[in-house]
Copies of this chain bind each other. A is one copy, B any other.
Amino acid sequence: MHDHHMRALKDLKLKATPKRLAILDHLSREPIYRSPEDVWHCLKGEFGRLGLPTVYRNLEELAAGGVISKVLHPNRQLYYFYCRNREHHHHFICMACRRVEDLQTCAAEALEREVGEKIGGMVLSHIVQVNGLCRDCAGESRPGERSPE
């Protein structure tokens, strides 16, 4: 896993610093989305010093490189998660426990066709995200031990 992340960073021409690797490792441990501050709290113990801006910067670089993904949260804060699936796909986000799961369904082709034919425009990007409650949280009477916000 570590090696895998090393390679990913090398491919992006990002230096494999311990902090960068720790951030990636941390995210890839569980399919849960995290805020920069979450990550910072969890990792600053491991390092004598770790600045919050460093976390922000790294998360953004990794997201820009496509190694991690962002969540569009209604509260408009930033959240990131690691997803090993390298195919084009979208995500289901549990609003209670923050679990992220892959979706196969993608309307990309249909959307692309409609934009091309009816609107006459070109697609630069598309956003699809499903917010809901995962199996576990939907089952419980009090969903989400972890507050969604």
Residues on A close to B: CB < 8 A?
72, 76, 92, 94-95, 101, 103-107, 110-111, 114-115, 118-135, 137-138
For the complex, what is the distance from the CA of A92 to the CA of B135, rounded to whole Å?
32
Count of identical protomers in the assembly: 2
Say how far A110's CB is from chain B's closest CB, in angstroms: 5
For the complex, what is the distance from the CA of A137 to the CA of B94, rounded to whole Å?
37
Chain B residues closer than 8 Å to A137, beta-carbon distance: 121
Chain B residues closer than 8 Å to A131, beta-carbon distance: 123-127
Say how far A64's CB is from chain B's closest CB, in angstroms: 11
For the complex, what is the distance from the CA of A129 to the CA of B123, rounded to whole Å?
11
Contact yes or no, B107 A120, CB < 8 A? no
Contact yes or no, B106 A120, CB < 8 A? no
